[in-house]
Chains A and B, each alone.
Chain A
Amino acid sequence: MKRMANIDILPMACVGLILVLAMMILAPLVMTHTQTQVDVPRAHTSEIKTEENLTITYTIEGRLLVNDIEILGEELGQVVAEELERDPYQLVIVRADKGVLHNDVLEILASVKKVGAKRIACATKRPKGD
């Protein structure tokens, strides 16, 4: 009686493991639209899905960035207006550090609304242990 030949699954398992590790490292980089680190507030509510968006980042140091490009506060309206010309229904996400004053964020939101943004969201993160 002949024995069936064994398939060597070790290389396959190794490749699978490497793929998993690569995915774990790359996924956050690919899925996050901006590389500027900001400690956004935590919230249980999660409304926005992954889609093409315009990201406005406001750091604790007061730096303002639109899609990772630093701009001055006065330029915000113009820059956002140019972006919205291409797609008026583009989602605008405001990523503000949790330590900044709400009034500063309101100024940003007001500028964005003034130039015609129709969909605006505040970025949040899931609370730990949620």
Chain B
Amino acid sequence: MRRRKRLRFENEPEALIMNSLVDIALSLVIGFIVTIPLFFESGIFVNAPGVAKAGAADVSDIKVNIHLLDDGAILLNEEIVTYEGLTELLPELLARSVARKVIISTDPNVKYEQVITVLDLAKQKGAGQLALLRSRR
């Protein structure tokens, strides 16, 4: 009886090993899930530029004005700060601000990437609104 069974199994075709195929497929799916956010673009909402108006709307609120200079220096409320300094000071200022609005202005030759870096930092540190300021011509 036992011998008969063994003979039947010997005649059957060998089963394919699916493990490697499944592993590859799974690795591809995981790789796809991990890398896909790098390929897709996202974005940051901004308040489109307006020209500075005379007279502030709410003088009692803490202001967060950032100005980027052509030479790469950063002015936070008219005072020069380093990027690390800005990283430390921004959360403190935003925590005391009601509107949590950050206004960013730049010198004429500042690169767009620098502005986005600061916008990103401001958002990470809790800015509610980001406003880009255009100087009056």
Contact = CB atoms under 8 A, between A and B. Distances in A.
Interface of A: 6, 9-10, 13-14, 16-17, 20-21, 23-24, 27-28, 31-32, 40-41, 43-48, 93, 95-106, 109-110, 112-113, 117, 119-126, 128, 130
Contacts, number: 141
B31 to A, nearest CB: 8
Interface of B: 15-16, 18, 21-22, 24-25, 28-29, 32, 36-50, 68, 106, 108-117, 119-120, 123-124, 132, 134
A28 B40 contact: yes
B107 to A, nearest CB: 9
A113 B112 contact: no
B22 A97 contact: no
Name A's interface SS. Answer: mixed
Contact of A31 (B40, B49, B114): B40
Given A102-B106, A122-B44, A17 B24 contact: yes
A97 B112 contact: yes
B112 A101 contact: yes
A31 B40 CA distance: 8
Given A43-B119, A110-B134, A113-B49, A99 B111 contact: yes
B112 A46 contact: no
Given A43-B120, A48-B42, A102 B114 contact: yes
Contact of B124 (A13, A44, A99, A104): A44
